[in-house]
Structure formats: structure tokens, C-alpha cells
Structure 1
Amino acid sequence: MTTRIPRNAKRVFYATESAFRTGPDGKVGRHAAREQSSTTFREARKFLDGLGAVGSVSIWTARSQQTNAYADRRADGSWVALDRVTGTWEPLPDPTSPTK
């Protein structure tokens, strides 16, 4: 899936699949596998959910010119997002579940 990022985008979300490999020393390491850039978190979430993979989403903002952690997809398929005020990871609701 290819997403066109506008040249003047204020935010870009980077979805990265994590792959775990055993090195020659026998240690298991976490490595980046497939990646996708998108302009919305919904697209980034859909990418990782479609792969059914553990991964993370980071966000780049034009204002700060920095990339920061945004959300993680766990092995069980649940999502957690970083609460910037408290610095803790909070569970995200399932987008397919009905809300009030």
C-alpha cells in the first residue's frame, strides 16, 4: 500500500513492524521490518493490523522537526498510546467497537 505524503504535511505517522531475530551469539534482538508513512494514525494502525504484527507508530511534526513515540501494537493485537502528560502507556479502544 503506497501513501502519498503531501510536501507541506504538518504531521507524518511512521508505522514500523518489529521482527525478532536470533543473532550469531544466540541473543534475540528486535529489528525493524516493513515500514509505511501516512498522514493519519488510522492509516498507520490499519497497516499494522493488516500485517497482524507487533510494531510501533511514531509521529514526526513539522513544528519541532522531531520524531516521537505515538503508539504500540502488542502481540495480542491490543494497542497502547503514550500519554504525554503522565508519560505512561494507556490502552487504546478498539476502533470497531461501538462507542457511546
Structure 2
Amino acid sequence: MSLRIPRNAQRVFYATESTTRTKPDGTVIRVAGREQRSTTFREAKAFLDGLGVPGGVTVWTERSQQTNAYADRHADGTWWALDRLTGTQVPLPDPEKRH
């Protein structure tokens, strides 16, 4: 799935699949797999949910010219985000389970 990102986009979300590889010495390392650029978090989340794999979403903003962690998808399908005030991981609510 390829999405066209507008040239003047102020935010770009990068969804990246997390995979592991084993080095010849037996050390397991985490490497990036498939990636998709999106204009919304919903599209990035749908990409990783569609693959059914763990991964992460980062966001690039035009104003700061920086990329920051946004949310992580764990292997069990739950989504977690970093609470920047406390430095802890907090679960993201599932919008389909809201009333």
C-alpha cells in the first residue's frame, strides 16, 4: 500500500515493523522491517494492525524538523504510547470498544 504524502505536509507518521535477527555469534538483534509513511496516525496504525506484527510509529513534524516516538504495537496487538510527563508507557484506548 503506497500513500501519496503532500509536499506541504506538516506531520508525517512512519509505521515500522519490528523484526529480530540472530547474528552468527547467537546474539539476537532488533531490526526494522517493512515501513509505510502516512499523513495520519489512523493510517499508520491500520498498516501495522493489517500486518499483525509488533512495531512502532514515529512522527516527523515540519515545525521542529524532528522525528519523535509516537506509539508502539506489541506482539499481542495492544498499543502503547509514551507519557512524556512521567516517562512511562501507557495503553492507548481502543476506539472500537468505546460506547
Q: Which category of TM-score, normalised to the shorter sequence, fits these structures?
A: over 0.9
Calculate percent identity across the aligned residue pairs: 71
DSSP 3-state at the match of 1:47: helix
TM-score norm. by structure 2 comes to 0.95
Structure 1 segment 20-59 matched on structure 2, within 5 A: 20-59=20-59
Structure 1 segment 1-100 matched on structure 2, within 5 A: 1-97=1-97, 99-100=98-99
State how far apart, in whole Å, the 2-side matches of 1:26 and 1:39 are.
39
One-letter amino acid of the structure 2 residue matched with residue 69 of structure 1: A
| Structure 1: segments with no counterpart, 5+ residues | none
State how far apart, in whole Å, the 2-side matches of 1:86 and 1:62 are.
26
| Structure 2: segments with no counterpart, 5+ residues | none
1:21-61 CA-partner distances (Å, limit 9, x unpaired): 11111011100000000000000000000000010000000
State how far apart, in whole Å, the 2-side matches of 1:95 and 1:33 are.
27
Give the length in aligned residue pairs. Answer: 99
State how far apart, in whole Å, the 2-side matches of 1:95 and 1:27 are.
38
State how far apart, in whole Å, the 2-side matches of 1:88 and 1:13 are.
21
